[in-house]
Amino acid sequence: MSVLVYTESEGGSFKKAAYEVASYGKGIADQLGTSVTAISFNANGAGDLGTYGVSKQLNITDSKLEKFNAAAYADAIAQAAKAEGATTVIISSSANSKYLGALLSVHLEAGYATNVMELPASTSPFTVKRSVFTNKAFAMTEISTANKLVGLANNSYGLKENTTDCSTEAFTPTLSDDDFKVQVQSVDKATDKVSIADADVVVSAGRGLKGPENWGMVEELAEVLGAATACSKPVSDMGWRPHGEHVGQTGKPVATNLYIAIGISGAIQHLAGVSSSKVKVVINTDPEAPFFKAADYGVVGDAFEVVPALIEKLKAFKAANA
């Protein structure tokens, strides 16, 4: 009755989210007095799973599962959970995990709590803290079914080393044609840029930048910091930036270590979407901008002067600390 964690990989290598769910799975396994098993798809070895507390890896090797397929992956993870006798299953909050989570929940007849922030406050009853109302509040939610599915919020638990001997076994699920009713035709993904979900730092800009032609300095700042770029809702509505960059209540949530907001006044919907970020820096000409009340650090000044100066100083800092 181990804890099963779904460890996501890309191109055979585990993602950071995989190690975070492994770390969290180990935390729950310690509470329950059991061990952690990871399920992976076409992974190239065990990576650092053992470092983060996984004692057994079940790896599925199947060319039909090279591209993510929510129905087939959910079916396979459910079969792995049953084979392992796992009653607690942990997934991340990546787009793919959120896609398959509900399907997996029905397969396992498992109550599903999403956006979970911490280890269970109690395992009997099984009670977890989850973020609700787009981070404007938290709910203590009890999962009452025998099987439990936990969707861990991104960057909430962090990586915790807990070195364990990790064995690897091949796992072969039985998949049906019904699992392949949705087929990926093409993937359009910038491989040279870090995504908002995976980034440790996000640099975001708003209407204060006056036009899409002024985003060069935002991208340069992001590059210096190894950050993803994001934007406010009006900016995506006006078509200055793609929708995929819109962060906030109706856009993407951001739960990064460092969030830098440039020329964003801080509408309540935007603040809600980014409030899980650990450190927030605001650069704005208007000292009355609401974002200053929600930020850790602020610079009152013209973005067109502050951002280029900050880029130069960060380059010098990075060079000195390399």
Partner 1 sequence: MKILVCISHVPDTTSKINFTDNNTQFDTNGVQYVINPNDEFGLTRAMWFKEKQGASVEVVTVGGSEVEPTLRKALAIGADSATRVDAPALDGYAVAQELAAVVKNGGYDLVIAGRESIDYNGGMVPGMVAAMTGASFVNTCISLEIDGSTATATREIDGGKETVSATLPLIIGGQKGLVEESDLRIPNMRGIMMARKKPLNVVPSVATATETKTVSFEKPAPKGDVKLVAADNLDQLIDLLHNEAKAI
Residues 75-104 within binding reach of partner 1 (CB under 8 A): 94-96, 98-103
Is residue 13 a contact point for partner 1 (CB under 8 A)? no
Contact 139/29 with Cβ under 8 angstroms? no
Is residue 282 a contact point for partner 1 (CB under 8 A)? yes
Is residue 258 a contact point for partner 1 (CB under 8 A)? yes
Per CB under 8 A, the list member of 165, 169, 188, 213 interacting with partner 1 is: 188
CA of residue 22 relative to chain centroid, distance: 14
- Residue closer to partner 1, measured from CB, 163 or 268: 268
Find the shortest distance in angstroms from Cβ 61 to partner 1.
22
- Residue closer to partner 1, measured from CB, 174 or 186: 186
Question: Which range of residues in 21-29, 39-47, 135-143, 206-214 is near partner 1 by CB under 8 A?
Answer: 135-143
Q: Which two tokens stand for residue 166?
A: 């990790």
The Cα 163–Cα 53 span in angstroms is 6
Is residue 237 a contact point for partner 1 (CB under 8 A)? yes
- Tell whether residue 53 is among the known ligand binding residues: no
- Tell whether residue 90 is among the known ligand binding residues: no
Per CB under 8 A, the list member of 64, 66, 137, 286 interacting with partner 1 is: 137
Q: Which of residues 206-235 bind partner 1 (CB under 8 A)?
A: 225, 228, 233
299 vs 124, 226, 274, 280, CA distance in Å?
47, 21, 18, 11
- Tell whether residue 284 is among the known ligand binding residues: yes
Question: Which range of residues in 79-87, 129-137, 165-173, 210-218 is near partner 1 by CB under 8 A?
Answer: 129-137
The Cα 277–Cα 257 span in angstroms is 6
3-state secondary structure of 232: coil
Is residue 124 a contact point for partner 1 (CB under 8 A)? no
Q: Which of residues 141-170 bind partner 1 (CB under 8 A)?
A: 141-145
Q: Which residue has the tokens 């060069």?
A: 216
Angle at which helix 70-84 crosses helix 95-108, to 10 degrees, equals: 50
Per CB under 8 A, the list member of 193, 207, 219, 304 interacting with partner 1 is: 193
Pairing of strands 9-10, 36-41: unpaired
The Cα 237–Cα 244 span in angstroms is 11
Find the shortest distance in angstroms from Cβ 40 to partner 1.
17
Find the shortest distance in angstroms from Cβ 129 to partner 1.
8
Binding map of partner 1 across residues 20-59, x = CB under 8 A, - = no contact: ----------------------------------------
Pairing of strands 137-143, 126-132: antiparallel
- Residue closer to partner 1, measured from CB, 60 or 299: 299
77 vs 41, 46, 90, 114, 206, CA distance in Å?
10, 17, 11, 17, 41
Find the shortest distance in angstroms from Cβ 178 to partner 1.
7
Is residue 294 a contact point for partner 1 (CB under 8 A)? yes
Q: How many residues does the chain have?
A: 322
Contacts 24+ apart (CB under 8 A), 294-302: 294/266, 295/261
With 0-12 / 13-18 / 19 or more C-beta atoms within 10 angstroms meaning exposed / middle / buried, residue 227 is buried
Question: Which range of residues in 27-35, 82-90, 177-185, 202-210 is near partner 1 by CB under 8 A?
Answer: 177-185
End-to-end CA distance of the chain: 46
**Residue stretches of the annotated binding site for FAD:** 207, 263-270, 284
Annotated binding site: 207, 263-270, 284
